[in-house]
Amino acid sequence: MHVTAPEPIEFSVGVEGMTCASCVNRVERFLRKADGVSSASVNLATERATVLVDPTVAGRAEVEAAIVAAGYDVRPERATDSMALTLDDADPDADLRAQEMRELGLKALVSVVVALAIMALMLWPDILGMPMVELNWLLFIPATFVQFWAGGVFLRAALRQARHRTVSMDTLVAMGTMAAWGYSTAVTLAPALVTDAGIEPVTYFDSSTMIIGLILAGRWLEARAKARASGAVAALVGLSARTARVVSDGTEVDVPVEEVRPGDLVRVRPGEKVPVDGVVVSGSSSLDESMLTGEPVPVLREPGDEVIGATVNGEGTLVMRTTHVGRDAVLGQIVRMVREAQASKAPVQRLADRVTEWFVPLVIVLAAVTFAAWWAVGPEPALTNALVSAVSVLIIACPCAMGLATPTAIMVGSGRAAESGLLFRGGAALEAAGRVDTVVFDKTGTLTAGRPSVAAVRVAPGFGEADLLTLAASAERGSEHPLGAAVVAEAERRGLTLGTPEGFAATGGRGVRAEVGGRRVLVGSRAFLAEAGISADVSAVGASSERPLTEVLVAVDSTFAGALEMADEVKPTAAAAVRELRERGLEVHLLSGDSQAAATAVATEIGIDHVQAEAQPADKTAYVSALRRQGRSVAMVGDGINDAPALAAADVGIAIGTGTDVALEASEVTLVGGDPRLVGAAIRASRGTLRVIRQNLGWAFGYNVVLIPVAMGLLYPVLGLRLDPILAAAAMAFSSVSVVLNSLRLRRLPVAPDSPEP
């Protein structure tokens, strides 16, 4: 008996104690070594690890054990059985983050105040009229309090990592501040150690406390900025309605939206938000779907039409039957996709990951070399100068900025894109879209409205128009293709009674076959009928070969029965979408399973020069693959089942959100609305985000390349320039905050259609 292996499961775990990119690398290494874990990605900005595990080998307990083994703590998860969409879906760690921010703020404030008081007393010791030896005892008490209370976060983390034979940014801070505090304490307790050597008993309590205060202040500012970075997801969650008006047994009751269940009838009055996903049962109204799709024009919804939760009803009253609620609804899925994208890594992050593997150990070595060099050949007092320079090297180094450079930009960029109806599956998709130089569009449902209609019915001798349409529509009842839906809609409009198709089979992009009332019916393209050995003489049924209309041919019992001529309007924004892409230097192609005449007519109308018609799914895949072999970076845009292989074959698959589930699963980018201008918006969002990532990484690397040598004192022999530890701490804190603030600029990125060039 064949046993199917269980599908891997993916989940995320909050990680406490990470402060820099080296922490991220260590957690990832331990997770990947754990049994049953096939992949692991850790995000410093969200402080969460996303893992893919074999459920027969490992589960959450094994993953958490690997995190602990790496030297870090697991953030407790809030258990809930509710399917309701809440702010926890935007940031499940929001409450804990808020508590940590309050603690950081308090400790930073106390540390800075104490440091300023110590500095004032050291600059003006005459205020108290005490000699320096006695004054040091007075300074020792508050400095020690700050060192072990506020600075305890660094000490505990460094000790924990030492037990696991690793180092991080906390190690550098702990070593630097403890060195300054330890030297000062020794001078305070035993001043003869330095005075006997002719060295003034100067302490550095002000440096140790101020370093702690500035770094904690930097982390507080960083935490605030990261909270703002997740604001887009919180805004999406905030769109959801809080109550719904449920209709039951002729009465209406307002209930919390989380109590609504699939199958419930819900009434939506004019001006109200649609509370859940559903299908209109009665009434008609225009709905504002702009908050999800970016489309400003209201959309008419009538009985049988699907409606999306969080959209806004217009002037009519609707009664709808609930289909999906909470996290299963469209809004819930969008929130999930955005969170997954924000938690993912872009390939560009790999460079920073490789560097930080050895960065912190290198800094410790450089600090040791600095101390030894200054002590050996530096000016007097050599020991003091050696200590100050070594502490500056330890403090100035900042892998924090390298760790935050990419994830913060992805968090903000993907969130900003989601606000305009663009959903990226992850950082890799966000990065790949920025490299695209060729865009290949499907036609039906992508550049055209996707709501074709039957313009004419042409019948062969021996068949009636109603009979032909009835058989064709009955066969198409099982199809998801827009042309099939149009045939069914036309038959229903005429009041024809449709049969039940048996043995239904669809050949993607070509046609369907079924048995209706004992008769074998084929509906599809000329090639589809030819493969079945059926010759279709379209001219004999009076079909117009001059007009660029799509032909749907029908055969009954192996005999050509007639042709349905389909009309499909080009989307009003299609030409603008193509024009923007061409202005950006991209090459645009049209790839369609339709006839050459119909495809060429659409391409001419919207300005596309490269056209491939009558393409089957395999042809579309081959076409995309051929472009890639030419060295092009290809984005494929489609919406149907027949587009799925080509979407998967492209560098970036872009699915129209109104398309089929198969197409959506095969794509890396989803356009929630049907506006083709969103393709240009996706590329614009990607390039804007990548630009910020490169800026962040450039700053993070450049900062260390320039300032570490200064901290070591390499410029001292030439310019007499040294870096005070306090200035080093301020610079280190500023570097991390500046990276996050630069990423936050993406919140103003012009992504929506008609946005100007960024």
Q: Catalytic: 442?
A: yes
pLDDT in the model for residue 564: 86
Q: Contact at 8 Å (CB) between 721 and 678?
A: no
pLDDT in the model for residue 439: 92
d(CA 276, CA 331): 9
Percent of the chain predicted with pLDDT > 90? 3
pLDDT in the model for residue 660: 43
Among 89, 442, 568, 594, the one annotated catalytic: 442
pLDDT in the model for residue 290: 63
| pLDDT tens digits, 117-134 | 888 887 776 666 677 667
How far from chain centre, in Å, is Cα 97?
21
pLDDT band at 53; cut points 50, 70, 90: confident
| pLDDT tens digits, 302-332 | 888 888 887 888 888 889 998 888 777 777 7
Q: Contact at 8 Å (CB) between 595 and 538?
A: no
Residue 4 has pLDDT above 80, yes or no: no
C-alpha angle with apex 470: 466 to 473, nearest 5 degrees? Answer: 135
pLDDT in the model for residue 664: 47
pLDDT in the model for residue 399: 61
pLDDT band at 755; cut points 50, 70, 90: very low
Residue 273 gets which letter from DSSP? B
Mean pLDDT of all residues in 626-640: 85
pLDDT band at 758; cut points 50, 70, 90: very low
> What are the distances in angstroms from CA 355 to CA 288, 360, 406, 722?
48, 10, 14, 26
Structure tokens at 581: 């892409």
Structure tokens at 364: 């410790």
Residue bearing the bigger pLDDT, 283 or 232: 283
| pLDDT tens digits, 182-224 | 878 887 888 776 666 566 666 778 878 887 887 787 777 667 6
B/e letters for 523-545, b = 16+ CB within 10 Å, e = fewer, are bbbbebbeeeebebebeebebbe
Find tokens 């149907």 and name the residue: 640
| pLDDT tens digits, 290-303 | 655 545 557 778 88
Residue bearing the bigger pLDDT, 706 or 87: 706
pLDDT in the model for residue 659: 46
The pair phi, psi for residue 154, each rounded to 5°, is: -75, -40
| pLDDT tens digits, 418-477 | 777 777 877 777 778 888 899 999 887 788 876 778 888 888 888 888 888 999 988 888
pTM of the entire predicted model: 0.63
Residue 714 has pLDDT above 90, yes or no: no
Work out the end-to-end distance of the chain between its first and last CA atoms, rounded to an integer number of angstroms: 59
Residue 731 has pLDDT above 70, yes or no: yes
168-172, 634-638, 673-677, 725-729: range with highest mean pLDDT: 634-638
Residue 549 has pLDDT above 90, yes or no: no
Query: Starting from the edge strand earliest in sequence, which strands make up the sheet with 669-671, in order?
Result: 422-424, 669-671, 652-656, 634-638, 438-442, 587-591, 610-612
pLDDT band at 663; cut points 50, 70, 90: very low
| pLDDT tens digits, 268-277 | 888 888 888 8
pLDDT band at 166; cut points 50, 70, 90: confident
The residues pairing with 265 across neighbouring beta strands, listed in sequence order, are: 247, 321
| pLDDT tens digits, 22-38 | 778 788 888 888 888 88
Beta strands in 598-671 (DSSP E): 610-612, 634-638, 652-656, 669-671
pLDDT band at 354; cut points 50, 70, 90: low
Residue 654 has pLDDT above 80, yes or no: yes
pLDDT in the model for residue 542: 65
What is the average pLDDT value for the chain, to the nearest integer? 78
Residue 589 has pLDDT above 70, yes or no: yes
Q: Contact at 8 Å (CB) between 313 and 301?
A: no
pLDDT band at 61; cut points 50, 70, 90: confident
| pLDDT tens digits, 231-250 | 555 666 666 778 888 888 77
Residue bearing the bigger pLDDT, 258 or 709: 709
88-102, 412-426, 550-564, 668-682: range with highest mean pLDDT: 550-564
pLDDT in the model for residue 378: 78
Q: How many CA atoms lie within 13 A of 758 on its CB side?
A: 22
Percent of the chain predicted with pLDDT > 70? 81
Q: Which of 474, 425, 367 is nearest to 10 (CA)?
A: 425
pLDDT in the model for residue 529: 85
